[in-house]
């Protein structure tokens, strides 16, 4: 087994990404622990031209903000709502903290809503979010 170029810090960063579970991280670590796979990825990467991404210059109230979604949404699936919010320059998080700027609530919100109220975070209903997003 080869030595990976990181410690647990990458695993900690990956686990914060919505949709990345411990099982996925384990699979990635297992894949990259084989030298042939690392060599293959490096060879592929050498063939790619990565273009820089321009910063989002959206004038949206969500630009540069951390947004959390909770509850069931009536107008679209949560993943679609998250993607639309990210396209407005927001960072979508899966958990509420003091750093959260907005919590968007759908039908039957759970503990994230209660945590947001406790922390005094700005709460928007699905309808308010749609209006503010100009969707």
Distance between CA atoms of 127 and 104, rounded to whole angstroms?
Answer: 9
pLDDT tops 70 at residue 52: no
> 130-135: long-range contacts (C-beta < 8 A, 24 or more apart)?
130/75, 132/60, 132/61, 132/62, 133/60, 133/62, 133/84, 133/85, 133/88, 134/60, 135/84
pLDDT digits over 34-50, tens only? Answer: 989 999 999 998 998 87
DSSP 54-78: PPP---STTTT-EEEEESB-SSS-H
pLDDT of residue 31: 92
pLDDT of residue 11: 67
Q: CB atoms < 10 A from the CB of 4, how many?
A: 13
At which residue do the structure tokens 């951390």 appear? 66
Distance from the Cα of residue 113 to its chain's centroid: 18
Query: Quick check: pTM over 0.85?
Result: no
**Binning pLDDT at 50, 70 and 90, where does residue 58 land?**
low
pLDDT tops 50 at residue 96: yes
pLDDT of residue 54: 56
pLDDT of residue 135: 63
Residues 70 and 112 sit within 8 Å (Cβ to Cβ): yes
Residues 59 and 88 sit within 8 Å (Cβ to Cβ): no
pLDDT digits over 70-88, tens only? Answer: 999 999 998 899 999 998 8
């Amino acid at each position: 087994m080869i030595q990976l170029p990181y410690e647990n810090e990458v695993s900690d960063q990956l686990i914060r990404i919505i949709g990345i579970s411990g099982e996925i991280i384990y699979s990635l670590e297992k894949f990259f622990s084989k030298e042939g796979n690392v060599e293959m990825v490096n060879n592929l990467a050498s063939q790619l031209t990565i273009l820089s991404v321009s910063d989002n210059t959206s004038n949206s109230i969500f630009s540069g903000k951390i947004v959390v979604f909770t509850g069931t949404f009536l107008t679209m699936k949560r993943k679609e709502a998250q993607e639309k919010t990210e396209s407005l320059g927001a960072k979508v998080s899966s958990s509420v903290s003091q750093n959260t700027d907005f919590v968007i609530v759908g039908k039957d919100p759970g503990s994230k809503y209660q945590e947001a109220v406790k922390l005094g975070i700005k709460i928007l209903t699905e309808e308010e979010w749609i209006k503010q997003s100009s969707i």
